[in-house]
Structure 1
C-alpha cells in the first residue's frame, strides 16, 4: 500500500469542505500534485483545478475526474483522522477518489504519456449538481476538448476491489421539482370565499402517482418521491391561500426523464387551472443520467482481465445520480464502480469511511487507461 497516498487520503478526510467551499482541499491537492511537475495547472472557477501532463507527440486528450466536496453530515467514525469540522464529513468517499487521481500524478511523472495529453480534473460541488455544469461551460475547460473522460465511484455493499461495469446508463437521472400554488386566503368559517390549494395538492399527488402506473410511457424505471408539502400558516381562523410541494423525479434513462417531466407539468398546470390557482414550477439539483460509451466499457473490461481483477456487469443502473452525466452528454465517457466491501457502511452515513485498500485498484485501472490511449 502506498503510504504517501494513504496519508494524503487521511489528511483530506480530516479537513472536509462543503460544495463550492473547497479552498483548503484544492490547495492540498495542488501542493501534492505540484511535486510531480505537471506542465500546466488550470484554475476552473474558485476551487476547480486541472493538471495537464503532455506527451511529446500529438494524440488524444484523456481526462480523469474526481470530486472535491464533502457532505453536511456529522461524522461518527471516531477515527484518528476524523473530520475536524462539526457537521461536515467526507461520507461519500470523495477523499478516496481524489487520492486515486493524485496517485496518477506519481504515475505520470514516472511514466509520462507518449502522445496527446492526460488531464487530472478535480471538480467542485458534485453533491449539489452545479460543479460539473460549471466546469463543462468554463471556457478554459472547453478549450481542452477531451476525446475521452473517465471517473469512478466507490460502492459499499459490493465485494472489495470488484470493478462494476455497465453499458449505456450507469446511474439515474434525477431532479428536484418545486410546485408553488397561489390562491386566496379567507376566514376559516367561510372557505368558499377563498381559494385553498388543499384539493389541488390532493389531486396532484394522486395523479402523479397514477402517472407512474402508465408503463407504456416509459422504457425503464421511473420514480416520483414526495419530499415535502406545505400550505397556509398555523392560524386556525384562516383558510390557506398558498401551498408548496417538493418532489424528486428520477429515471434510469434521460429520454424517460423528459417524458416524466413533461407529463408531470401537464398534470400540475391542468389541476391548478381547474382549481383557479396560480402555479409556478421550478427545478433544482438536476442530474442527467451518466451514460457510458461501449468503447470505454470495452477498455475497462480488458484492463480488469489484464490485471486479474474481479469484475461484473450490472443488470440495472444505480438509482443514485452523478453529475458526471453532464460530461457524458457531450464527451465519450466511461464511468465504473469500485467495490468498497460487503460490510462497508453505506454512502452518506455518518459512520462511513473510504477503504484505503481499494486505492491501488482504482489507480491500476486509471493508469491502464491512459497507457492504452496515450502511451501506445
Structure 2
C-alpha cells in the first residue's frame, strides 16, 4: 500500500489535529500547548520523546530495523502576530495571533508521518522527528542547535517541507544550492528635538528624517547593488508621534534586507548605516542603526535535492515535480540546520488562495496526507542508502 493511501485512511484525524492547532496558535518560544500536544501524540505512538530543547522544542526518536542511518525530519510550530480575518469555524481564538504561514499544517504532517512510520516500521536505523519553535524570526533553529540538537540527536541528513499557497496543487518544488535568501532585520532610531507643531523652527523634526531615509534607501538596490544579484530592502514599520499638534522627540523605522550573496549583504548593511547617518546629520538629528543577522542563506545539498525529486516523482509522478524551481527571496531558519547537517528543503503546492502571512490565509488540509507521505517515504528510502 502506498503511504499516501494508508495516511489518507486517517486524514480526518489529522485534519482535526491541524484545525485544533489553528484555533489555538502560539507565538515563538510560547508553544507550550502545541509542544504538549505533539509530545503526547508521539508518546501514544510509542516514540521516545524529549521535551524542552530550544525552550519549547520537541524531539522524537523512532527505531526501525537494525541500522546505523539516522534520518531527520523537521517541522515548525509557531504562529504569527496577525489578527485573523476569516470566518472559519476553527479560526484563531487568540487575539492578534494566527497560523498565517501553515506551521499548524507542517506540524500535523510530521505527526502523520510519525504515525505511519511507527505503525509500519519499514525502515532501517532511526527516524528523528524535530518539532521546532520560533521559526518566524526569533531564531528557534539556532536555539535548538545551541541546546545540542545534533550532539544529543545526531542525524546523517535532514529534510523539511513548506506549503506553497501559490500552487499548483500537489506539486513538489525543490532547488539544489541556494534556494532561499538570507535575512537581516534592522531598526533605525531617530532622535530629534520635540516642539509645538505651530513652532517647528524650535525643534528638530524626526518625522522629516524618517520620511527621507526610506526613499534614499531604495537607491541601494537600484544604484549600489550589482543588477545581476538579487537584493530586497523593505521598510515595514514607521512609528512616531501621538498628537496632532506636537512634533515628537523621536521616530523609529524597522524593516528587512534579503540577499543571497555575502558581499552584497555586507554592502547593503554598510549603505543603510551611511544613508541613515548622513541624512540624520544633514537635519541635525541623531540616528542609531541596528542590523541583525536573523536568517542564513538556505542551501540545499545537490545530492539531497536530487533525492527529494526522485522520491517525490515516485509518490506523485514526474509531472508533479520541479527539481529546478526558482529561488525564493523569503527566508527560513531551517537554513541553520542545513549549515550543520546536509539535507534539503522543499515546497508543496496547495490549492491557490490567500498568500502566506496574510490575515485571510488558511492551510489546505488536502495536503496533509501528501506531505506526511512524502516525509515518511523520505525516511524509508534514505535510511536504506549505503553510508
Q: Provide the TM-score with structure 2 as the length reference.
A: 0.84
The offset of 1:66, in angstroms, is: 0.8
Counterparts in 2 of 1:90 and 1:277: CA distance versus 1, 3 Å: closer
Q: 1:328 to 1:285 in 2, by over 3 A?
A: same
The question of 1:329 aligning with 2:334 is answered no
User: Which one of the candidate residues 56, 59, 67 is aligned to 1:47?
Assistant: 56
> 1:288 and 1:247 mapped to 2: Cα distance?
17
Instruction: Specify whether residues 29 and 120 from structure 1 end up closer, same or farther in structure 2 by C-alpha distance, changes over 3 A only.
Output: same
CA contact (8 A) 1:39 1:54 kept: no
Structure 2: where are the runs of 5+ without partners?
1-7
> Aligned match of 1:369 in 378, 384, 387?
378
Q: Give, in whole Å, the separation in 1 of the partners of 2:207 and 2:49.
A: 58
TM-score (norm 1): 0.86
Partners in 1 of 2:190 and 2:84 — Cα distance?
Answer: 38
Q: Which runs of 4+ in 1 moved over 6 A?
A: 186-193
Identify the match of residue 316 of structure 1 among 326, 332, 335: 326
Q: Which residue of 2 aligns with 1:138?
A: 147
Q: Is the 8 A contact 2:173 2:346 kept in 1?
A: yes
Maintained 8 Å contact 1:180/1:281: yes
**142-151 or 90-99, larger mean C-alpha shift:** 142-151
Supply the distance in 2 between the matched residues of 1:353 and 1:367 (Cα, whole angstroms). 24
In structure 2, C-alpha distance between the alignment counterparts of 1:245 and 1:328, rounded to whole Å: 32
Gaps of 5+ in 1: none
State the distance in 1 between where 2:53 and 2:243 align: 46
Displacement of 1:115 in angstroms is: 4.3
- Could you say which residue in structure 1 is the equivalent of 2:229? 220
Instruction: Measure, in 2, the Cα distance between the counterparts of 1:54 and 1:108.
Output: 9
Q: Could you tell me whether the CA contact under 8 Å between 1:113 and 1:374 is conserved in 2?
A: no
Q: CA RMSD in A?
A: 3.0
The equivalent of 2:264 in structure 1 is: 256
TM-fit CA distance, 1:153 = 0.7
Residue 37 of structure 1 corresponds to which residue in structure 2?
Answer: 46
Pairing of 1:1-376 with structure 2 (within 5 A) = 1-3=8-10, 4-55=13-64, 57=66, 59-112=68-121, 115-185=124-194, 195-197=204-206, 200-201=209-210, 204-214=213-223, 216-217=225-226, 219-231=228-240, 234=243, 236=245, 241-253=249-261, 255-273=263-281, 275-283=283-291, 286-309=294-317, 310-313=320-323, 315-342=325-352, 344-376=353-385
- Contact kept in structure 2, 1:163 and 1:312, CA below 8 Å: yes
Q: Deviations over 1:315-357 (max 9, x none)?
A: 5322322222222333213111101113x33223344332222
Encode CA deviations 1:257-311: one digit per residue, 9 max, x unaligned: 3332222223333444555543322246822332211111100111122224311
Higher deviation after alignment, 254-263 or 97-106: 254-263
Moved more, 90-99 or 307-316: 307-316
Counterpart Cα distance in 2 of 1:353 and 1:218: 36
